[in-house]
Amino acid sequence: MPPRKRGQSVGLDRSVILDAAAEVLAENGSSGLSMRAIASRLGVVPNALYNHFHDKTELIDALLDHTLGQVPTPLGGDPRTDLVGIMIATFDTLAAQGALVPLYIDRHGSRGPNAVALGKHMVQSFLALGLDETTAQRAIYVLIVQAIGFTAYGVSAPNPQANRAAFIDSLNWTLDGAIRSQ
Amino acid sequence: MPPRKRGQSVGLDRSVILDAAAEVLAENGSSGLSMRAIASRLGVVPNALYNHFHDKTELIDALLDHTLGQVPTPLGGDPRTDLVGIMIATFDTLAAQGALVPLYIDRHGSRGPNAVALGKHMVQSFLALGLDETTAQRAIYVLIVQAIGFTAYGVSAPNPQANRAAFIDSLNWTLDGAIRSQ
DNA sequence: ACCTGAACACCGTTCAAGT
DNA sequence: ACCTGAACACCGTTCAAGT
């Protein structure tokens, strides 16, 4: 295909760029996720991306939150079952993105709207379980760090199955502890 | 100072390089920790480092294990107190290295001798607590991922104190859960 | 507003010397 | 064995155009 002329619009937007980034990440891993590789996959010059993201960190943050948007939130069953369901779904969704989480951690990621929404859902479940607000916030923080920690560590884990099983143990122990602490 | 002549020995070794790396990391953060910056601090050309480390990943792994070597291991008090002490000391030691852990995670770090030694100490404590070997291994894995997860997350946490407190909650809940599961 | 061209200031790593 | 010189193939990001 012939190179575009200057100024010719190409229909780039955040969503298209994020999809391309996910593909590059899946194919080439975190070290291969460069702005240049994403641009190249879109048939575009690297600096074109900067019209849609301020820098690479913002792109990675957006990609993580975009991923979090795919986590299904169970609606209103038993609160504890809901919490377990949300956390396992979060783990599996992040784990499917491979090296994204380590990259996110290294780039000082901030939480996006989907992360916030997930957090709100969890507060409700904890309140229904009888926790006060501050204890609920603490428990949620612990659960989030664990989910991120296990997915990040799982990328290089020799046995992904064992890593997932360890996460589920950790999850249940945390729920028991948080509930018992009230 | 005048530049060295070719072949002139300069007394570089792994330990000296690791110290320089820690300084660069402390001053410039993870994005500033380049092979070139480490070499520059040592007054040496970048490729000189490759006589002592195969690549940057190996250097980072060595730096993490070197850091782990500074964790004091309490000798033979109450097993649970020992475990809590080891984990908190590990957290504090890693947290003092700032952005090292996120970098370690992103680079697919492998465990070094000091990590292994710490693990062995923990197995003894768990066995003394009445756990069988496989449950002990699982619990240790969970504790390690948590320590790494909280330190990595803590680098960018808005409130480091709260992050540390959350880690200690997580630690106690995990110990309760692991012991109770037997 | 959104893209290209061109450049700047970096990277990690390799390889052929030199001593 | 351990270092330098020089190079290769990359990076993220900026800035001045063009439309």
Return d(Cα B142, Cα B174) in angstroms, integer.
Answer: 8
For chain B, positions 34-93, list CB contacts with chain A under 8 A.
none
- Residue-level pLDDT at B9: 58
Q: Does A148 touch chain B (CB under 8 A)?
A: yes
Mean of the pLDDT values across residues A67-71? Answer: 97
Within 13 Å of residue B27, how many CA atoms lie on the same side as its CB?
A: 11
Closest-CA distance, B80 to chain A, in angstroms, reads: 16
pLDDT digits (tens, 9 = 90+) for A88-124: 999 999 999 989 999 999 988 789 999 999 999 999 9
Q: Which nt sits closest to B50, CA to C1'? A: C13
Mean pLDDT of A26-33: 97
| Residue located via tokens 């080891």 | B86
pLDDT at B3: 43
Answer yes or no: do A103 and B106 touch at CB < 8 A.
Answer: yes
The protein residue nearest C19 (Cα–C1') is B7
Q: What DSSP designation does A32 have? A: G
In chain D, which nucleotides are within 7 Å of a protein Cβ? 1-7, 10-19
Sign of the Cα torsion B171, B172, B175, B178 reads negative
- B23 and chain A in contact, CB less than 8 A: no
Q: Is A182 helix (H, G, I), strand (E, B) or coil?
A: coil
Mean per-residue pLDDT over chain A, rounded: 93
pLDDT of res. B7: 46
DSSP A55: S
Identify the helix (H) or strand (E) that includes residue B63: helix B56-68
Lowest mean pLDDT among A71-75, B21-25, B84-88, B176-180: A71-75
Query: Do B165 and A145 meet the contact criterion of CB atoms below 8 Å apart?
Result: no
CB of A7 lies under 7 Å from some atom of strand D: yes
Q: Please state, in angstroms and rounded to a whole number, the distance separating the CA atoms of residues B74 and B79.
A: 10
pLDDT, mean of residues B152-165 = 95
Residue A136's nearest CA partner among A122, A116, A118 is A122
User: CA–C1' distance B153–C1 (Å)?
Assistant: 37
Q: What is the pTM of this model?
A: 0.94
